[in-house]
Homo-oligomer: A and B are copies of this chain.
Amino acid sequence: MATPFHNPSCQHCKDRFMSIFCKAEPCNLDEISDAKVCSVYRKGQVIFHEGAYPFGVYCINDGKIKLSHSGDDGREQIIRLVKAGDIMGYKALLSNERYTATATALEDSSICFIPKDLFLNILKKDASLSFEMMRILSSELRKAELKITHLAQKPVRERLAETLLFIKETYGLEPDEQTLGVRLSREEIANLVGTATESAIRLLSEFKKDGMIELEGKKIRLLDIPEIIRTANLQD
């Protein structure tokens, strides 16, 4: 499926300083760099499947990925958006269980694979790396818990506005400083918000009518961010 290619070295990875591995001790980084395998996945390709056993962690060299649960009735719930410098698949590895989510490329991406044993061994001997790992886990957990509260208490309108801001935080804006840096289908947006596709569409149209955003195919331009923030009704 995925196309392997000559490994970029971790030491010179452009996202090295944003990634967890910037905390790793240099000798461990060398070891990781030698052992990893980098592959290219095309848009839509699945990197790993919910239910499968993990054999390592993935570190995004370049690209954008969604992680999603497939709900009982088949509807998917997107639980995380992954960007360059991020790692994924660590949760299953650490708790030694199967993947609980499926990773799908949102656009063509180059992704490095680090074998399980190596990763775990280095984690065990590199205190600063494992501390960083804990920091990441804590922060993901905090975000997840906040999402639980909002899902339980906020109306779809507010959650959609919040989601737009979240996408902006994650993937940033294009050079025009307005367009969200990723193209998602309406269904994907809905699955991120946790609502029906039609509801997401309707509310996006409303946002547009209210002058908060502009829509052009899958492009979304944020015109009035302060108003979006107000709509999201954030307190924290």
> A145, B95: Cβ atoms under 8 Å?
no
Q: Which residues of B contact A135 (CB under 8 A)?
A: 94-96
> B145, A100: Cβ atoms under 8 Å?
yes
Q: How many copies does the complex hold?
A: 2
Q: Which residues of B contact A134 (CB under 8 A)?
A: 94, 123, 130, 133-134, 137
The answer for the CA separation of A46 and B205 in the assembled complex, in Å, is 45
Tell me whether A125 is interfacial, beta carbon within 8 Å.
Answer: yes
Q: Which residues of B contact A127 (CB under 8 A)?
A: 124-125, 127, 130
Total chain A interface residues with beta-carbon distance under 8 A: 47
Q: Which residues of B contact A27 (CB under 8 A)?
A: none
**Cβ distance A175 to chain B, nearest Cβ, rounded Å:** 32
> A152, B91: Cβ atoms under 8 Å?
no
The answer for the CA separation of A195 and B133 in the assembled complex, in Å, is 34
Tell me whether A146 is interfacial, beta carbon within 8 Å.
Answer: yes
> B123, A153: Cβ atoms under 8 Å?
no
**Cβ distance A191 to chain B, nearest Cβ, rounded Å:** 8
**Cβ distance A153 to chain B, nearest Cβ, rounded Å:** 4
Which of these binds chain B: A13-21, A69-77, A177-185?
A69-77
Contact with B along A93-132 (1 / 0, CB 8 A): 0111100110000000000000000000001110100110
Name the interface residues of A139-189: CB closer than 8 Å to any CB of B. Answer: 139-142, 144-154
> A151, B154: Cβ atoms under 8 Å?
no
Residue of A77, A90, A101, A137 with most partner-chain B CB within 10 A? A137
Tell me whether A79 is interfacial, beta carbon within 8 Å.
Answer: yes
Q: Which residues of B contact A146 (CB under 8 A)?
A: 69, 100
Q: Which residues of B contact A97 (CB under 8 A)?
A: 142
Tell me whether A235 is interfacial, beta carbon within 8 Å.
Answer: yes
Q: Return the contact of A73 from the options B94, B153, B234 (Cβ within 8 A).
A: B153
10 example contacts (A-B, Cβ-Cβ < 8 A) are as follows A71-B152, A75-B153, A77-B149, A79-B145, A91-B138, A95-B135, A96-B135, A130-B134, A134-B137, A148-B194
